[in-house]
Amino acid sequence: MSIVIIGGHDRMVCQYKTICKKYGCKAKIYTQTATNLECLIGNPDLIVLFTNPVSHEMVKIAKKTAAQKAIAIVQSHSGSASALKTILDSRS
């Protein structure tokens, strides 16, 4: 499964990648606003949106892209490792 993580904490990027690898997922992680984020998202199976540590602009882009491309989106207020594990457990 391919996922895109939007938001979260910069210091957690390595942990996010490790967790995704354990679940057999390929992950792209964007913790900061990137130019052309709509294009960078691509066509993943799932978008994980950590809403607390992310800009409103990134939230709007993620939701719009998910709606346009019919991509499943899961939102979590927390950007913790356990929140990501819980999301991936529910999708397995």
Distance of CA 1 to the CA centre of its chain: 13
Residues forming beta bridges with residue 72, ordered by sequence position: 46
Q: Mutual orientation of helices 81-91 and 13-22 as an angle, nearest 10°?
A: 30
pLDDT tens sequence across 41-83: 999 999 999 988 788 999 999 999 999 999 999 999 988 999 9
Residue 92 has pLDDT above 80, yes or no: no
> Domains, the chain, ranges and CATH?
2-91 (3.40.50.2300)
Strand order in the sheet with 72-76: 26-30, 2-7, 46-50, 72-76
pLDDT tens sequence across 3-36: 999 999 999 999 999 999 999 999 999 999 888 9
Distance of CA 51 to the CA centre of its chain: 10
Distance of CA 53 to the CA centre of its chain: 12
For the record, the structure tokens of 39 come out as 């294009």
pLDDT at 51: 87
